[in-house]
Amino acid sequence: MHTTRSSLARLSPGGVHIGRGRTLSYRRKSTKSNTDSSRSAPSPKKVEAPEPTAAPKPDAQPIQSSPANHSYSGYFHLPHLPHLPHRPTREELLTAANGFWQRMKVRLKWASIRSMRPWNTDEWGAFLSFFLFGHLVWILVGTTTFVSLIIFSINTVFAQETLAKKIGDYLTQSAGVSIVFESAIVPRWKDGVISFRNVFVSRRPGQIKSTVSKGSSSSAAAVAAAERGTVVHEEDDGNYTQFDITINTVNVTLSFVKWWNGKGLLKDVEVKGVRGVVDRTHVHWSSANIDPLSYRHEHQPGDFEIDFFRLEDLLVTVHQPDGFRPYSVSIYSGELPQLRKRYLFYDLLSATHMSGSYDGSLFTIHPRQVHGVAAGQEQIASDLGEPEAWKKFSRLRIDGLKIDHLNRGDEGPFGWIYEGNVDIVADVMFPADDDESITKVVTEFYDRLEEAVTSNRYLHLLDSNTRRNKEDGVIHDASVAETPNVPDESNPQAVSSNPTPKESSAMSILTPASDPPQYLVMDLRIHLNDVKATVPVFTSHLSYVNQALVRPIVAYINAKRTYIPIGCRIVKRSTDFDGSWTVFDCGLMNDVSAEVYSAFAHDVEDQQSRVRRLKKVGFWTLSLAVHALFMGMAGNVI
């Protein structure tokens, strides 16, 4: 009997005919894996006894299961899995699996659907959605890792040229310079950056189109020099700063969110080892008197706004126009909290720290330090309003700067000095940035609304009291009650041109006040050392220059030429730095010249007043001495 039942278990699940007009039927215990298939089968009905049939022949073929049953069993069971009276567990499925791939399939399906049935359409859609959403989050959060993985996957020996050209095309199109990569682009997984090695950057006429290639910097410099001598077919006068620079290492971190917001793809940039030449010999200015602010660059969507910038080991040679001697500029180390193309010069001034040399004159930018004041506290600006109005305080110091860097093209006092050097110490106070967050906007709106409601309630009480007083003590004459220029209430545009004080106060509260302008304050201390000045040949057309004081100022400079201290304060709007890249196009040089002239004029007037006082005091002393002498002589004679 046991043998018969075990043999029956290996037959088809529908049932077995055992003779004598009876059919032995059985049903396997249902599991979760075959629930869907069992639902489609018709519900079992009571089986009536069939009519008696003849006995089976001895040579009859055994009953075989249908192919549908084989496929049905293959979906839900592994080849060597025995029939179990319960739902198979993961361990049982792994035990019945043969080979690595079957066990991998069991683990994958068990982790996803806890079964061995095929995935349906909803599950495939869930997998696809998870794949796309995961990659989207990856691109948003880890843009650098995503791009570095793509670079690593295609940065082979044969694809380096194509990869360098694609990246260089993007940089050339956005920056307008020619870029050559000597080494491969290597992602640094440990630091989370993409590293560029031995990058050659050139800006010459005729490089509007992409000329990106991969090769050595020497060959790139030769190509750039050859292109300089060739005839340029496109209209390009070359009236801009040209340069050929080699960069040892550039490490960048990318951000998809910044690129989506139109702030460029770069987030953090680190540059090391910069060498090259900056050529400004082709730059020329118009002879007309043009406002320096007109040279500012217009902001374009997509201009870079780097969140963190670090520069180390820069040394370039600068060639100025009009035959000025070449000089070197070096930066030993510099760190900027942000670097924006729109506010390039402003961000350079607000560097966290920077040290270098300019034509042999050392300069530093560092936070201002005051004795008795802890770092980060802003009590030092108590004379300039609230401390919260200022973001940071920096000090710029330049020692021994040659005067010819200041007197070129200047019609003010610096233009009159032709020899000497200058020590400059500038304490710069930067205004606090505007908080454009949604929290501040909602808070300001709520405060304005509350203030308007409170003021209207107070005005309503005043109106009711005034109306009650008028009704009690004032009697109006009907003949004199004509009131001209009364606005028609039906016409909303007919309002009084002279509102009452209460109406004006209410309007001032309800009207959103514009943000006050922000100012950058710079306290300058200039020390002129061993200077010589001469009277200008041509009359200056500057409005702040008084021609009557030119000669006294020149005489004062030549008389005190060994050491002349000058102190002044410059206040500039922050909007003047919008689009400025140099000290000239923001108008700072003209402001410095005007303030220096005012300081010289004040010193000359003080000098003249001191001379007058000295003459008066000397004459009084001399007269008193002569009077005493005469009195003594008169006493002796008597």
The tokens describing 408, both together, are: 């070129």
Neighbours of 26 (CB within 10 A): 12
Separation of alpha carbons 259 and 170, rounded Å: 13
Between helix 438-473 and helix 501-510 the angle, nearest 10°, is 160
Between helix 588-637 and helix 550-559 the angle, nearest 10°, is 70
Could you give the count of Cα atoms lying within 13 Å of 190 in the half-sphere of its Cβ?
Answer: 0
> Locate tokens 């109006």: which residue?
476
**Contact by Cβ (8 Å): 327, 311:** no
Q: Counting Cβ atoms within 10 Å, is residue 339 exposed (0-12), middle (13-18) or buried (19+)?
A: buried
**Contact by Cβ (8 Å): 562, 529:** yes
Domain ranges (residues) in the chain: 2-98
pLDDT for 56 equals 47
The ranges of the chain with pLDDT < 50 are 1-65, 68-73, 75-76, 210, 231-232, 471, 474-513
Give Cα 518 distance to the centre of its chain. Answer: 20
Strand partners, 330: 315, 357
pLDDT for 14 equals 46
* Strand bridging mode 178-181 / 213-214: parallel
Strand partners, 567: 525
Separation of alpha carbons 563 and 493, rounded Å: 68
Separation of alpha carbons 424 and 524, rounded Å: 7
**Taking Cα atoms as reference points, which of 526, 256, 257 lies closest to residue 399?**
526
Separation of alpha carbons 638 and 636, rounded Å: 5
**Taking Cα atoms as reference points, which of 378, 357, 382 lies closest to residue 367?**
378
List of residues 6+ apart from 482 with CB closer than 8 A: none
Phi and psi for 264 in degrees, rounded to 5? 85, 165
Separation of alpha carbons 435 and 249, rounded Å: 35
pLDDT for 227 equals 58
pLDDT for 222 equals 63
Q: Enumerate helices (H) and strands (E) in the chain, giving the number of each.
A: 16, 18
Tell me the pTM.
Answer: 0.63
List of residues 6+ apart from 325 with CB closer than 8 A: none
* Strand bridging mode 308-319 / 266-279: parallel
**Strands, DSSP E only, in 478-610?**
519-533, 563-573
Q: Counting Cβ atoms within 10 Å, is residue 31 exposed (0-12), middle (13-18) or buried (19+)?
A: middle
